Amino acid sequence: MSLLLSAARSPRPSRPAWLSSPRVLRTEVLAGLVVALALIPEAISFSILAGVDPRVGLFASFTMAVTIAFTGGRPAMISAATGAIALVVAPLAKEHGLDYLIAAVVLGGLFQVILALVGVAKLMRFIPRSVMVGFVNALAILIFTAQVPHLIGVPWLVYPMVALALAIMVFLPKLTTAVPAPLVAIVALTVFTVVAHITVPNVGGEGTLPDSLPTLGLPDLPYELATLKLVAPYALGIALVGLMESLMTAKLVDDITDTHSNKTRESWGQGVANIVTGFFGGMGGCAMIGQTMINVKASGARTRLSTFLAGVFLLILVVALGDVVALIPMAALVAVMIIVSVGTFDWHSIAPATLKRMPAGEIIVMGVTVVATLASHNLAIGVVLGVLTAMVIFARRVAHFAQVTSVLDPDGNTRIYYVHGELFFASSNDLVYQFDYTGDPEHIVIDLTAAHIWDASSVAALDAITTKYQTRGKAVDIVGLNDASASFHENLAGKLKAGH
C-alpha cells in the first residue's frame, strides 16, 4: 500500500510543450519545414563534396535528424550531413568506394559512444579558443576550395549564374527573411535554366536521386583486420570532428536560449545517430551550426519536434520531388557553398586590429591548426596539432613563472630559499640550478608556501637538490607544502632517481 501511495504522489513526466500549446506546435512544425527546405541543397552539396551520390547525403540528413531528435542532449539542435564530415570521408570514398565510407561512419559512431562514456564532453573545455578559431577557418577554406573543380572547364553561363545566386543570397535577407535565401536562389536558377532551355551541369549529372525510402543493410566489404586498419583513422576523424562541431553548436544554443544541455548525452546521441545512419547507407554527420541557427534563432523552435520534423519533411520532399531536384544547376549549389564558407570563416580573427592585440602564441596556434588541416585535408589532425602546439606554448609560458629567491638567516648558519610558482616538468628542470650548493651554510630551508607541486618531475628535482646538499654534508628542510603537494611529495620523495 505504501508503495502505491508513494507512486501516486510522485510527479508525472511533464508533457512536451508542443502538446500543450497550439502556438508552440505551429512554431515547431513551420521551423521543421523551413529547415528541411534549407537542408536539401546543402545535403546535396555535401554529398558532392564527399564524392558520393546525392542520395547518400540526403539519407544521412534524414536519419541523423530523426535519430538525434530522440537521442540528443540539446533540444532543437539540427544534425545532418555536414561539410566537416564530408571533408573527412571524401578521400576514403574516392579511393575505396561507398561501402568503406559507410563502414567508417558506423565505426565512427561507435567511437563517439565510447568517447562519451569516458567523459570526452568534459575534455572539450581544454581545447583553446585559438584552436577552435583555426578549426572553423580551415573548415571554411576547405569548403571553398572544394568548389573550384565545379568552376573549371564549364560553360561560360555558369559564372554569371553563380554571381546571380550570390547576389540573391547576399541582398534578399536585407529585404525579407521569410524564406531562406539559398532556397530562393536555387529555385530561381532552376526555373531560369528550365524555361530558357540552358544546358549547364546539374544535380542529375552528379548521380541518381532516391525514389524510395532508405533501406537497412551492411556494407559489402571484407570483414578483416586490414579493413579495420584502413577504416579506423577515418572513423576516428569522424568521431572527433563530429563531437567537436556538435558540442560547439550545443554550447552556442545554450547561450542563445539561456538553457543548459546534457553534453554527455549529446555525445553518445551523435554516436547512435551515426551508427543508424551508416546502416541506412548515409554518409554520417553531426550538428549543423547554420541550420540550427535557422531553427532556433530565425524560426524560434525550442523542442525536439522541430528536429524530428526537419528530417521527415526532408525525406518527403526529396522522394516526392526527386525529378525536380535533379534539374537544380550546380552553379546554384556552388554559390550556396561559397556563402556557407564565407559565413563560416571568422573574419574578425584575421583583422589587423585583432592580430595586433592578440598574443603571438595564440596566432601561432591558430596558424598551425589551419595549415595542418589544409595540408592533411583532415580536420582532426589539425585540431590535435593545434592543441599540442597550445600545450607547448602554455608550458613554456608557465615555466617562466617559477622563481626562486633566497635570504641568509641573521645567525649566518641557515639560508632560506623561497620558491614561487607552479612546479611541473617544464619549470622544475631549471629548479636544480637555482641553488648555491658550495657556498651555502650548513642548514638549508626550502620554503614552498607560494608554490605547488604538480608532477613527479618536480619531486625528482627536489630529491636532486636535497642529494646535492647532502653529499656536501649539509642538511635540507622542505617546508610550506600545501596538503596536495605534501601528499604528492611524501608518496614519491626518495623513490625516484634524482637527476644530477
What cell does 82 get? 555536414
Packed helices 98-117 and 225-257: angle between N→C axes, nearest 10 degrees: 60
Cα 440 to Cα 477: distance, rounded to the nearest angstrom? 14
- Listed residue (327, 328, 312, 289) closest to 32, CA to CA: 312
Looking at residue 38, what is its pLDDT?
Answer: 78
Cα 100 to Cα 232: distance, rounded to the nearest angstrom? 10
- With residue 443 as reference, give the H or E element that holds it: strand 443-453
Cα 444 to Cα 434: distance, rounded to the nearest angstrom? 13
- Listed residue (90, 137, 143) closest to 382, CA to CA: 137
Looking at residue 298, what is its pLDDT?
Answer: 67
Please say whether the beta carbons of 181 and 34 come within 8 A: no
Query: pLDDT tens, position by position, for the chain (500 residues)?
Result: 444 444 444 445 567 766 667 888 888 888 888 888 778 888 888 888 888 888 899 999 999 999 999 999 999 999 999 888 998 899 999 899 899 999 999 999 999 999 999 988 887 777 788 888 888 888 788 888 888 888 998 999 999 999 999 999 899 888 887 677 887 888 899 999 999 999 898 887 776 667 777 888 888 899 899 999 999 999 998 998 899 889 878 887 887 788 889 999 999 999 999 999 999 999 999 998 778 877 887 677 889 999 999 999 999 888 887 788 788 898 988 888 888 788 778 898 999 988 898 888 999 999 999 999 888 877 678 888 998 999 888 877 776 677 899 999 888 889 999 999 888 888 787 788 889 999 999 999 999 999 999 888 889 999 999 999 999 999 999 999 999 999 988 888 887 664 44
Each as own residue / partner, the long-range contacts of residues 197-200 (CB below 8 Å, 24 or more positions apart, any chain) are 198/157, 199/155, 200/154, 200/155, 200/157, 200/158, 200/161, 200/329, 200/330, 200/331
Cα 142 to Cα 258: distance, rounded to the nearest angstrom? 33
Please say whether the beta carbons of 58 and 316 come within 8 A: no
Cα 331 to Cα 176: distance, rounded to the nearest angstrom? 23
Cα 406 to Cα 465: distance, rounded to the nearest angstrom? 15
Cα 470 to Cα 340: distance, rounded to the nearest angstrom? 67
How many other C-beta atoms can be found within 10 angstroms of the C-beta atom of residue 396? 12
What cell does 469 get? 646538499
Q: How far apart are the first and last CA of the chain?
A: 75
Cell 553534453 sits at which residue? 263
Burial class (CB in 10 A: 0-12, 13-18, 19+), 248: middle
The CA-CA-CA angle for residues 366, 367, 372, to 5°, reads 105
Q: Concatenated DSSP letters for 49-60? A: HHTS-HHHHHHH
